[in-house]
Amino acid sequence: MIAEHPVVRLSQVGRSYGRGEHQVHALRDVTASIDPGELLAVVGPSGSGKSTLLNLIGTLDRPSWGQVLIEGHDVSRLDDRELSALRAHRIGFVFQHFHLAEGIRAVDNVADGLLYTGRSLRTRRERAETALHRVGLGHRLGHRPHELSGGERQRVAIARAVVGDPALLLADEPTGALDTRSGDMVTGLLRDLNAAGTTVVVITHDTELAAALPRRILVRDGVLVEDSAAAESPAASPAGDRRAQETGI
Q: Distance between CA 246 and CA 249 in Å, rounded? A: 8
**Domains parsed from the chain with CATH numbers:** 37-60+79-227 (3.40.50.300)
| Partner residues linked to 219 by β-bridges | 224
Q: Which stretches within the chain are classed as H helix? A: 50-57, 80-90, 106-111, 121-134, 150-162, 180-195, 207-211, 238-247
Give φ, ψ of 126 to 5 degrees.
-65, -45
On the 0-12 / 13-18 / 19+ scale of CB atoms within 10 A, 174 is buried
Please give the distance of CA 202 from its chain centroid, rounded to a whole number.
6
Rounded to 5, what percent of the chain is helix, strand, coil?
A: 40, 25, 35
- How confident is the model over 97-117, as a mean pLDDT? 92
Which strands make up the sheet holding 223-227, listed edge to edge?
91-94, 168-172, 199-204, 39-43, 215-220, 223-227
Q: Kindly state the percentage of the chain with pLDDT values over 90.
A: 74
What is the widest separation between alpha-carbon atoms in the chain? 56
pLDDT range class, residue 97, cuts 50, 70, 90: confident
Q: Distance between CA 220 and CA 135 in Å, rounded? A: 33
- How confident is the model over 186-196, as a mean pLDDT? 93
Instruction: Check if the beta carbon of residue 214 is closer than 8 Å to that of residue 39.
Output: yes
- pTM (predicted TM-score): 0.87
Average pLDDT, rounded, for the chain = 89
Instruction: Check if the beta carbon of residue 131 is closer than 8 Å to that of residue 111.
Output: no
Instruction: Check if the beta carbon of residue 134 is closer than 8 Å to that of residue 162.
Output: yes
Residue-wise pLDDT tens digits, 44-81:
998 899 999 999 999 999 999 999 999 999 999 999 99
Between residues 37 and 236, the one the model is more confident about: 37
* pLDDT higher than 90, residue 93: yes
